[in-house]
Amino acid sequence: MNENTPSALIVQVGASRRTRFQRAVLGVAALLPVLSTPGCAPTACTLTGAENTLTIQVSDDIWGPARSMTWCIDSDCRVHAITPGGSPPVILVDDRVGEAPILVEVRLAGENNTLLASGSTTLTPTVFQPNGPDCDPITWQAGALLTKDGLTPIPSG
């Protein structure tokens, strides 16, 4: 360093690095009381995904010959093909499942569209938050059991 080198500049560069470090340490230290206060800590959320679903469980005696399932929510119908040898339950991702109660109709058909079972019931979806109550996603789920006698709600819980 010579006499013409501004010493303030050299000190400033060194102080700048030290100051950034000191500010970071002080910033973390300032947050510690907040983070350690019960109820004030940030929520740690996992990244588990979920979607609104309708689960239809089917009794074994009618599942074997099943080839398709038609399900309707509030008279809006969709069809799900069933692969022989598959196993219930049928979990249907359906954005029509939400907070409000839904009228669900299910028709299970075999070869040549032969009716195996059908039924309808009103379901009240329940909220499901796989990452905890303060984390997204918030989804809705409902379920029913289809037997030869019809469709009945599956209690949530």
Give the tens place of pLDDT for each residue, 79-116.
988 887 777 778 888 888 999 999 999 999 999 999 99
Give the domain ranges of the chain.
1-42, 53-153
| Cα→Cα distances 148→80, 118, 119, Å | 19, 7, 9
- What is the average pLDDT value for the chain, to the nearest integer? 75
pTM of the model: 0.66
Q: What is the pLDDT of residues 31-57, one digit of tens each?
A: 444 444 455 556 678 877 888 889 999
The most distant pair of C-alpha atoms in the chain lies apart, rounded to whole Å, by: 100
How far out from the chain centre does Cα 80 lie? Answer: 21
Please name every residue paired with 105 in a beta bridge, in sequence order, or none if there are none: 72, 120
By the 10 Å C-beta count (0-12 exposed, 13-18 middle, 19+ buried), 16 is classed as exposed
Those residues whose C-beta lies under 8 Å from the C-beta of residue 129, and which sit 6 or more positions away, are: 50, 135, 136, 137, 138, 139
Higher-scoring residue by pLDDT: 130, 17: 130
